[in-house]
Structure 1
Amino acid sequence: MKITKKIFLSFVFYAQINLVPNPSFEDTIGGCPNNVSQLYKTKFWFNTNGSTDYFNKCYSGPFDYANIPKNSFGYQNTILSNCKAYCGILTYWPFNINTETLGIKLTDSLLTGTKYYFSIKISLANTKYATNNIGALFSTKIPSVSAVGSPPNFSNIKFNQVITDTLNWTSLFGNYLADSNYKYISIGNFYDASLTTTVMVNSGGTQGA
């Protein structure tokens, strides 16, 4: 996920092949974004909580709201010069509201007892705080995650590292031994504010992380 903490996201999840369709968010539906909060314009992805922001070099709206590299949440180039998109999510808010998660249906169900590998690249937006707890949550049905006072406080993959770098993309790697035939994956912070480590990195930045 830059996602606030917006952070900016791009990732891979695989056993032998990548099970995440459109992992770079570059395949679009219905044209380019012309404002923030338009995840529905990137193919296969959907919000599981809140309103994920979708940024693309083909942005066609006013100002630079969802443009790349300059946008509403700071300045961040794509991972590679030939890439053209990323997403941004909110991972912390002081009052346990408005955190954002996004999800997708995997190209194949997980096999119980099989180890899967997960990698994600994130960069901190121009926000007040940086946080930990970025992770993944699997489900057998289309997920709906509440972040209004009662997040699940659980994820199948969780990273404890607090990401503070606003210039570079940070790569995180994990693995997961499947305990069910999950069909969906959601990405974000699934823990409430009291269980999330925060570090103030910019006193003048956008509230949240």
Structure 2
Amino acid sequence: MKPADQLAQFVREALISGRSRDEITMALSEAGWARTEVEDALATWAESSFTPPIPRPRPYVSAKEAFFYALMFVALGMTAWHIVDLGFDLIERWMSDMDTSSWSNRSMRWSISALIVFFPLFMLMQRTEIRSLARDPSRKRSAVRKWFGYIALFLSSLALLGDVLSAIYALLNGDMTLEFILKLLLVGAVAGTVFGYFQGAMKDAEDGA
């Protein structure tokens, strides 16, 4: 049995025997358990006079949901990437007096093709997720959902920080052209949208934990 499981079992038996939470905390602290470990073990059981103790809902892992959220994550990533890529091509076309290269045409066609595939897929999966959460709020406790959500927050945060870094560097280097500013704004808008979406989703997930 894992130490965390042993601790949870001990807390359960102590609560059944009528010990108060303060007594349990003191006993475990004297035995060398860290305060955070004791708090987590006590948080496993609801504060109620009902016997036996009532377990609180805990996060869970599902292979089916791992597949769903991984595919949704890829669809979002491809959508965000190709929105930026297509936007860069359009900005360069607009700002440049040079003839459009065949490479640029291929790049734009590829981005448009990717958006036609992945953007509707992401919207469909998002709609499916919203309906599933409405039918079964316990899905908010999915550990897989939280992991992919926080990974998306991490990556979008890096994009925003990189955007700010690039802006400061260009400003100090004297390279702050209109084309560069438009590209920075595009990256910031896409990364900010992703960050805002998942920030709300993760706040909802933590409230439902």
Given the two structures, how large is their TM-score scaled by the length of structure 1?
0.21
Return the structure number with greater relative CO, CA threshold 8 A, min gap 6: 1
TM-score for both structures, normalised by structure 2: 0.21
Larger Rg: 2
